[in-house]
Amino acid sequence: MAKKIKLTDNALTVLTKRDYLKRDKDGRIIETPEQMFKRVATAVAGAEKQYGGIERVKEYERKFYEIMVNLEFLPNSPTLMHAGTKFNQLSACFVLPLEDSLEGIFKTMEQTATIARTGGGVGIPLSNLRPRGSRIKSTGGITSGPISFLQLFNQVANVINEGSSRRVALMAVMNIHHPDIMDFIFAKGVEEEIANFNLSVGVTDEFMKAAMNNRDYELKVNGQVVGKTSARRVLDMITFQAWKTADPGMVFLDKMNQKSPVNHLGEIQTTNPCGEQPLLPYESCNLGSINLSKCLKKVGRGRLGIDWDKLAELTRLGVRFLDDVIDICTYPIKEIEEMSRKTRKIGLGVMGLADLLILLNIPYASNEGLKTGEKLSRFIHEIALDESKKLGKERGSFPAFQASAWERQGYSSMRNSTVNTVAPTGTISIIANCSSGIEPLFALSYVRKNILDINNTELIESNNLFEKLAKKRKFYSKELIRKISETGGIDGLKGVPVDVREVFRVSHEIEWSWHVKMQAAWQKHIDAAVSKTINMPTSATPDDVREAYVLAYELDCKGITVYRNGSKARQVLNVGAVNKVASQPIVDDKRKWVGNGHREEELCPECGGELTFKEGCATCPACGYSRCLIS
């Protein structure tokens, strides 16, 4: 196991800055990357002893080490950081319950802090909390509402951030039927407010159908209807705020619950911070990703094809690795350990899709690209299910197997209630030197900021596949590379062949509908969900955002996150020339949108003058008429 790996400078920076490598008591690094992979392989393979003895341990210690050191498969960051150490918390994704009592709220707050300190991301459902202004029976007072407690959770995260090199990641979801939904939608009116949270609105089929048919929908407290309001106007406000600040996203709760393999255990109300893991209260999930760019082979002169045999082998090893992680993990809270072992959820995902498509000469934004994505997703899912079924026969099915979707579908055994997902793979894709998740290339040259630590360490990224091809096809020049560094892409640049432009089209050059369609193609064969950013240029409109949300719903995605370039002052990926003017929110001018085909609402009903739209309200400068678009 003494194989030496060659890592990029950026990969080494990640490994040292993010404390992947062990340190001594004085903070000095005392571990090489090879030793890190050896530590992780040894620790995880230790779970094999109870199933096959010491020979089984040695066999899988070698296999696990090889797929990691070859950068063919990498587990989530907590596993790389903590496996084989005293800490030993290995899962990345958690969801906690939130009860509507002061004791319940502070219990969840304490548990959130405990998990966040271990490097795990936490999802928190706000829907159970009473709306602002409700009477408190025990004291006779008035509740301050869910958003005040959201701010309190955020402050706890700020305190943890002060003593950590890794920013706390949290997710808050509020059901669309909650009376305080407008407060939630605009909770990030100022970017630095609630900065540790991603926000998503939990929408239902009832709401989406009402919005698309321009009907009212019901607001509820504890299942009791307390009012009605326009679904289309609420959808417009969600998409306007997402256009302005990139929050909130959407999670489609009914789709998540209908397709949950363990929906007999309870209702999913939220996800992990990046949205790829819909989880029940106290569930956790450990993740790992196959590097698709390593799953290619020569199939002819100068041609590459997908190496399905290798992909199958990596899938089987990945499932086994992640199942072993469940056995050896030291969980931060007793309830989490019990629930995690009850459902045994794992999330085998991928990274390097964009690289694979480029090497196959397939444009990402094409029907062939979508077909390739869906074919890969189906293949990985089928092999992963088969491996989990075999492990179920050998080791026993997950304890909640009885009455699960797998038993209802006729399976005789299943080791894991979910087997696959698509995670964003932000840092492990840097370690593996491949594109992240199922995203297209963000740019051919760009800067990563705000990802390694809270001190704004920057990483310069450039795509070596393009440079190699440019030199091979003899259109490479230093001037071309300089121009690319300014815009990130090659659209409109002279001298670049048309076929190269299509294959190397970067994220902001791809029309948003292709992003949604690629997410949907993968979601068809994913047990959990897909973390995918729907990138839009600075010129995108709120209507574009709304249409993307509706398309994602219609294509059976389980959630959606839209990011309009420049909508956040602090963004992780940055090309050289960001349009500073266009990135400023347009909220004070006279807006001419309130939803597709509803231009009549631009005019004041009192005097006929043009309305001004700002922060969810419409006002008439001529006569003073004013109304909130949500009543």
Q: Which residues have a catalytic role annotated?
A: 272, 274, 276
The rounded distance, in Å, linking the Cα atoms of 37 and 20 is 10
Tell which phi-psi region holds residue 139, choosing left (phi > 0), alpha (psi between -120 and 50) or beta: alpha
Joined tokens for residue 554? 């219609």
For 160, the token pair is 């943890």
Report the distance separating Cα 41 and Cα 83, nearest Å. Answer: 8
Amino acid at 572: V
Which of 525, 523, 519 is closest to 561 using CA atoms? 519
Q: Give the amino acid at 416.
A: N
Name 381's Cβ contacts closer than 8 Å, sequence gap at least 6: 419, 420, 525, 526, 527
Contact 257, 269 (CB under 8 A): no
Q: In DSSP terms, which residues pair with 202 in a beta bridge?
A: 175, 251
Spatial neighbors of 8 by CB under 8 A, at least 6 apart, are 430, 433
Measured N-to-C along each axis, helices 49-69 and 308-328 cross at an angle, to the nearest 10 degrees, of 130
CA-based angle 233:561:283, to the nearest 5?
Answer: 110
Inter-axis angle of helices 9-17 and 33-45, nearest 10: 60
Cβ-count burial 13-26 (b if 16+ within 10 Å, e if not)? bbbebbbbbbeeee
